Amino acid sequence: MVNPDLVKQFGAKLLSIYTGGVITKLIDIGYQVGLFEASKIGPATSQQLADRAGLKERYVREWLGAMVTSGVFVYDPEDRSYALPEEHAPLLTGDAHTNIAPTSRMINHFGTHLQRLTACFRDGGGIPYSAYRPVFTQCMDDAWRRIYEHLLVSGFIPAVDGLSESLRSGIRVLDVGCGTGHAGMSSLASSRSRPSSAMTSPKTPSPALAKKPARWASRTPALKWSMSRPCQPIRSSISSLPSTRSTISEPQTPSCAGCVNLSRPAGPSS
């Protein structure tokens, strides 16, 4: 016997899931066009907020309506102003690791591959990683960059016994699955505590990596960034790291499409 109360409960949950899917897209829009950042200044009418962000009021007004009904913003009918509560702002604005707004873009990007994924259910096969690039790489960089900059050196690295001390004394690290290489650069950029460590990141050359030299040259001039020739298999590279220089050279087989070398002045190896 079907329980009508359970039907209603599940119906409400399902509707909430669908609503969340739509709100995710609107959060992505707000993040990309700067509406959340503009809202941090304080309450504003739709026109005032549009002026702050340099956008069209008509679209901003519709967006704000969705933000209010979803509980992201609050609305004051007396002066027709919209406000982003200060308790909500850290999760949608700023450069801190608490800002999870970039996640909305990643989820929406996955949705652009829905038709191909549907075909895979019928025909098999899969979607190659190359199909997700460069947008997926950019999304990951946007989301994890904040986490690495705020927590990698102070949180992740100290959680591994002896790792902070080893980095201070100088070691060479192979960063596998480095994305845009920001994690390695974040840790090495802490020049006061990691003066002589170096990092090599096997990575297929990409537009995201191509932007790194200029980005990091101004922030950390002591670091050297270069794209090397195709390197040996990663397994071989890992096993040889204790006795090799910071750059993997003279490749024997083109198993990797490329590798990125980040180095400081040579220090002791370990």
Q: Where are the domains of the chain?
A: 4-94, 153-263
User: Residue 15: how many CB atoms within 10 A of its CB?
Assistant: 10
With H, G, I as helix, E, B as strand and everything else as coil, classify residue 196. coil
At 156, the pLDDT band (50, 70, 90 cuts) reads confident
User: Sign of the CA dihedral 196, 197, 202, 203?
Assistant: negative
- Six token digits for residue 211: 């932007």
- Average pLDDT score over the chain: 77
Q: Kindly report the pTM of this predicted structure.
A: 0.71
Q: With 0-12 CB in 10 A as exposed, 13-18 as middle and 19+ as buried, what is 113? A: middle
At 177, the pLDDT band (50, 70, 90 cuts) reads low
Percent residues over pLDDT 70 in the chain: 64
CATH 1.10.540.10 fits 4-94, yes or no: no
Among 47, 55, 39, 35, residue whose Cα is nearest residue 79 = 47
Better-scored residue on pLDDT, 227 or 162 = 162
- H or E element that contains 56: none
